[in-house]
Every structure is written in C-alpha cells, then in structure tokens.
Chains A and B, each alone.
Chain A
C-alpha cells in the first residue's frame, strides 16, 4: 500500500468515526427532547421548571455546537471570538436582573 492510499484510508476511517458520533448525538438529542416535554407535563414550580428546562437545553445546544458545528476541535481564534461573544451575551441577559436590583420594579 502506498502512503497516498494509507492516508486516504485513514481519512475515510476518520470520517466514518465522525458519522458514528453524529448518529449517537442525534439519538441523544431526540431522547433529551422527549425528556424536556415530559418534565414540562409534571408542572413543577416555575423556578425549578425553568432551571431544569434550561439545563437540558444547554446540554442539547452544547452537543449541537461541539459535534455538528465541530467546536470540539476548532482553532483558538474561533474560541476567542466565541468567548468574547459569550461574555457580552451573559451581560445582555443579566441586564433585566440589574434593572431589578435598581429597584425599577418596586413601586
């Protein structure tokens, strides 16, 4: 076997491994979707329901980002861009909480 053939064979095996991971992630996402709907039917108190639903959504989102979007093996620059974005995103979501702390809702 020439080195070109060996490299092509390794490449094909690598893609096959990726495909197996995609299918595993797909099944996991389906199971988590069903879990999300079933938990919602229990009618937990709102703070607990929000926490559980967001936790499951974060797990699902992480699976999509890490494996379908290949973030698990990306270059440092992409991580830097996303790290900065995440920081601003957290500030954005914290703004309503800061508004509360300001006493805006206290009449």
Chain B
C-alpha cells in the first residue's frame, strides 16, 4: 500500500513471524503509524462506527440463527420463542433489530459527510463507488432480514418489493412475471421464498465485510480526505492514527453506544412497526403498509410517480445515481465549506431527504402526493443539474495554504513551511 511501514518487531518471535506472514507489519503500518490529517472532525468517526455495527450484526445474527426456523409455519413463533424462552434472546434480538437501524443512521451520516466534503472527488472515486455498493448491499440485507420475522409487515413488504420487478412486464410482456416467480419459487410469496431470503440474509453480511476490506484498501492508497479538502503536504499536516484517532474514534463510538443502548433498553420497538407483531396472513393486506424508516425516502419517490414502470425505475435510479457523483460534480474544490453557492443546495438536499422520509410514512393522498413529487424532482435535480452547473459557475472561497494553516493559523504554518 502507499504508505511505507516503519514496523520494528519487538521480539524474536515477532521478527520470525513477520518474515513469514507480515500481518503485524501490515497492522502497524495501516492502523497504528498510518499518517492521518490532523484536522479530522467528528464526522470522520463514523467509518469506525460502521465497522463496529457490521460486527454487531454478524455476531448477534449468527446466534439468532441458532434459534430461528425459516419456515412459514414456524418463523414467527421461533422469533417469539427467542423473545420469551431463549436465554438473553430478547437482548440479542433487540440488539440485532435496533442494530440495523443504528447501522443505517451511521451509514447515512457517513455518506452525507462524503457529499459535503467532496470525498468522492479524485483520487477517491473508486473508494466512493465501493461505498455506494456497500449501501446497496446493506439495503438488500436489511430488507431480507426484516422478512424473516414473517409478521404482517414482513410478508407484505416482501410482496410489494418483489412485485417491483413485475413492472418489467410493461417492457417485455411476461418477463416481469417470470422473474418474480423465479424470485418467489412459487406463484406467490411462500415457504420457498422465506428459505432463500434466509440463506441470502446469512450470506450477504460476509460479502459486505469483503467489500468493506476493499473500501479500506482504497482509502489507504490516497489516505483520508479532510474538512479543508486539500491534500496533505507538510509533515505537520498529519498525525499517526494511533493514539490520536483511535482515541477520537473510540470516544465517538462510546457516545454512539449510549444512543444504541438507549434504544435497546428503553425503546426497542420505537423504530419498528406494531403490525409486525401480527403473524403473516397472505389473505389480508394491512390497511397501511410502510417500510422500515431507513427506506422511507426511497418509498416516497416510488409512490410519487403515477406510472408503475417509471416509479420503479426512479426508485432504483435514486441509488444508482450515487455511482456517478464523482463525474457529475464539476467543481475543482472538494470541501463545501469553501463553496458559498453549493452550500445552500446541499442543505436543501438534506432537508429534501428528510421531507421525503416523512412523506414516505404518510398515506399517498392530497398534499402529500404533490410534496412527494416536488421532493423527488429536487432529489434528481440536485445530482443532474445542481452538481454540474453550480460546479462550473461558482467562485469558491480562498482555500488555506495547508492543513497546518487551517488548524494552527498562518504563523505556525509559516514556521512549518520554513522547517520543511
């Protein structure tokens, strides 16, 4: 990797091992000595938090799988048995269920951080796209996990979401139906569907873990970006990852855990929907179907569009468009802090996503439909119009000469320049 390791084995055994399989050297170079910009703020702590979240989901998930039964007759009851009979089952399940929400809180903050600070710009385009891929895999995994409970919301969410693919019938008659029956393994959502969702829900988190490794690899080639959006140039611009950022990340993780624990112990069902405590009934659709909160903005976009095929295309497009952000943004400056015009559009975009989230939870009628349409239009306009156009015409503010200057002021920076 880009940074040369200064690792010195401290024991004979260490040296012996290092010669044969240099894992200690790699860890030392990448996670202890790794030069990290000195100006990272708390928005940079969510990467570490996300790794933690993935680990929590995998550990709690594997133990839940030891008690869970993936069959339509037993799934719901086995989840109830986990809650009532299995030792600590309530704790494991609530941690897994709340954990999924916490995972999404963290990933959304992490991604908005990237959008604000231009983290997707050269040379970090591949890093960004791997991140979008992780988001896509997380969405798929969480959707499949939610289905496993086999409550009313699980069942109808699976029905509605898998039926999205039936819209292909409008392009090639029969194609959508064939595809949907292939996904179901039957003529309706049923036992075969539940089984395969479970198999994939078990698999995908490990795929995510693999992509996370690539994501971190791609990060460690150019190194971290930073709030000033300028490259590390002086020696005094960076600090070793340990102890400076192990401490900062650790502190942020503890604060994050307070919120996490608050939900698990005091409001474990706050983020869920009560209808999922009603066993799945294939003959009765609940009066109002809503997805989990983290899918609401996308759901609002789907419903904003009266045409089925275009609605589905917009839903997938809303995520796919993120892959192209590195090329849509034409600005030479990375950090929005120095972009007086783009800044407004950015915060409007954040507000738009929150509004869409609210609208996704409401009945699709009256004013809500109109607002969803406006929200969906701005969502896409932000990427397709604002990013290229503002980038070309905006006059950015003066950038600091170095990261050292951004943190310590001009005088200290001048000293550092002189000694360099």
Partners in one complex: no
